[in-house]
Amino acid sequence: MNITIFGSGYVGLVTGACLADVGNHVVCVDVDAAKIERLNRGEVPIHEPGLDDLISRNAAKGRLQFTTDAESAVRHGLFQMIAVGTPPDEDGSADLRYVLTVAETIGKYMDEYKIVMTKSTVPVGTADKVRARVAEALSARGASLEFDTVSNPEFLKEGAAIEDFMKPDRVVVGTDNPRTAELLKALYDPFTRNRDRMIVMDVRSSELTKYAANALLATKISFMNELANLAERMGADIEKVRQGIGSDPRIGYSFIYPGAGYGGSCFPKDVQALERSARECGYQASVLQAVEETNRRQKQVLFRKVASHFGDGLRGKVLAVWGLAFKPNTDDMREAPSRELMESLWQAGARVQAYDPVAMQETQRIYGERKDLKLCESGEAALVGADALVICTEWKEFRSPDFSRIKASLSQPVIFDGRNLYDPILMGGFGFTYFGIGRGQPLPV
């Protein structure tokens, strides 16, 4: 099949590479000429395990192309996938300007039947706006062409996106046209051959499904962090509690790990957008508001623990920070807890020696050269001369380090573990002063 994807960011690149890998001819179009030049040179602008090889292999075989030529791209594909960004507006609502600009472009250049698909995470009712914008562009040029608009949200986890696309647990399609549903079934059949995972529904339900999924996962995280804060005040260990409740199959173990708050491009933005949509409908989404507020406070917990421990002030102190990306296996630092921590430390006069396996370049891009930030080539290098170690991201290489070496490198044997990677009793045996999340060490009120 011929497929056009607007947007060569995270969703667009993963979707395009995976669809090309099963034999489709995919054209990815983007207005960013520099990004397209990089992609055509074989340089992938994001970190996602396996994506570089997938793109290079399919580009070499001619099944995956990158261009800035929107006109030729529109004429190429039966499927016109919209995968551009929907950044949060000042009021928290999703900014749809890029989505609707693409819709207008499709209407301007299409010359035969097209299926216009929104893969971007968009508020309920966006497909109606897309349909109207395509129709307006067609009318402006006096054309009368048939097209369908479809909601087809993505459910890709950063760090495991290729596996998620190739072996999906569900493919959600929102359409009111049975013929379109059959065409989508044919498109996704290579990925769902062992059993049908396509769930067809009306367009608005499909749009809400994406927001509902992310909001529910964010709710689980914030609820667990709320319990962690309560456990600290009660002298309980949240990790034992997690095991106790996770063993209940009605609850399960996914997304009940306490920590320093959630980040990334999806959960913060989508919770805010859904809460804003609720307000526009005249409904107060109290749970969503609490989820967002709990996460905002949780991102301050690590800094508060550090500041509480060094009661004489942080000016002149050096903190080693392990992990900068918002989660492992990505270089994405959007809304990352590490940013909140480092910026608070700098404001208090402390210096940071940081290490992340893949997010160093992104950190450099965000913060540039700073006297109070040293980016180190290894976790061990970040420790040298630091007054304490702070863990923000649960990369595998941090799970079983040489604790004797850590203790020897730090000027004080103190660890603030924002992901509960280590056992407090073991840390005590090594002579560390150890602070986890929800492990019976309350912050002062």
Residues with a known catalytic role: 266
Alpha-carbon span 442 to 445, nearest angstrom: 8
Whether residue 416 contacts residue 306, with contact meaning beta carbons closer than 8 Å, is answered with yes
Question: Which residues are bridge partners to 116 per DSSP?
Answer: 80, 149
Alpha-carbon span 286 to 283, nearest angstrom: 9
SS (H, E, C) the chain: CEEEEECCCHHHHHHHHHHHHCCCEEEEECCCHHHHHHHHCCCCCCCCCCHHHHHHHHHHCCCEEEECCHHHHHHHCCEEEECCCCCECCCCCECCHHHHHHHHHHHHHCCCCEEEEECCCCCCCHHHHHHHHHHHHHHHCCCCCCEEEEECCCCCCCCCHHHHHHCCCCEEEECCCHHHHHHHHHHHHHHCCCCCCEEEECHHHHHHHHHHHHHHHHHHHHHHHHHHHHHHHHCCEHHHHHHHHHCCCCCCCCCCCCCCCCCCCCHHHHHHHHHHHHHHCCCCCHHHHHHHHHHHHHCCHHHHHHHHHCCCCCCCCEEEEECCCCCCCCCCCCCCHHHHHHHHHHHCCCEEEEECCCCHHHHHHHHCCCCCEEECCCHHHHHCCCCEEEECCCCHHHCCCCHHHHHHHCCCCEEEECCCCCCHHHHHHCCCEEECCCECCCCCC
The per-residue b/e assignment along 215-253, b for 16 or more CB within 10 angstroms, e otherwise, is bebbbbbbbbbbbbbebbeeebbbbebbeeeeeeeeeee
Alpha-carbon span 118 to 361, nearest angstrom: 31
